[in-house]
Structures are given as structure tokens and as C-alpha cells.
Amino acid sequence: MHGETFEIPQDAELIYRGDELPSQAIFIGSALGLQFHLELALEMIKDWVNNRPIKERKFVLAQSRPHLTESQRICRIIGDRFLSATSCNFTWVGAAGKNFV
């Protein structure tokens, strides 16, 4: 459905790759850039494709279902990490030097 992508800025770190579009998420310091909807739920997807032809609706739903669990896991990680931030020096890199996911 989408074909948009972006070049990764020099100071950014790629943290998620996709099969069709490699640049899916990056961070630079405290800034996080996402190229996907991590807040997805099946009902949202159904609503988005509601007016599409039935064959397309079935295809999109079938393609989406396997990714929902991982998307929800990532959403929780990002939300928890962001809400637990206590410093103006916040970064998406953990204390051990590893990315948040």
C-alpha cells in the first residue's frame, strides 16, 4: 500500500528494517523516527480497508495479521521506555550501549 521511504541521516542509527522497505525506524539521540504504524490493531486495519474491493481487503488483512503481535510488542517497549524517561539527557540507547529493542 505504501512505497515511501527515506535516506538515513548521517548521525542516525537504523533500528528496524523491513523486507520491502529497508528503512523502517531510526533514532538520533532522543528523537525517534518511525516509518510504520506501531499502534496498529486489527480493527484499525479493517477500518482502513473497509471501502476497498473485497479481494484487496482480504489480502491486506491476511498480510497484516502475522505482524500484529510484534507491532504491539514494539509499541509497548517504546511506550514504556518513553514514559520511564526521567532525564533531559534521554536517549534510545540503553545503559549497556544497546538499542531499546
Q: How many domains does the chain have?
A: 1
Using a pLDDT cut of 90, give the percent of the chain over it: 21
Contacting residues for 42 by C-beta, under 8 A, at least 6 apart: 61, 64, 65, 68
Q: Is it the case that residue 39 has pLDDT exceeding 60?
A: yes
Residue 8 lies in a domain: no
Residue 33 lies in a domain: yes
Contacting residues for 68 by C-beta, under 8 A, at least 6 apart: 40, 41, 42
Residue 77 lies in a domain: yes
Residue 40 lies in a domain: yes
Residue 25 lies in a domain: yes
Contacting residues for 49 by C-beta, under 8 A, at least 6 apart: 56, 57, 60, 61
Q: Is it the case that residue 8 has pLDDT exceeding 80?
A: yes
Residue 36 lies in a domain: yes
Between residues 13 and 6, the one the model is more confident about: 13
Residue 96 lies in a domain: no
Cβ proximity of 16 and 25 under 8 Å: yes
Assign 72 to helix, strand or coil. Answer: helix
In this prediction the pTM is 0.64
Structural domain that includes position 23? 13-83
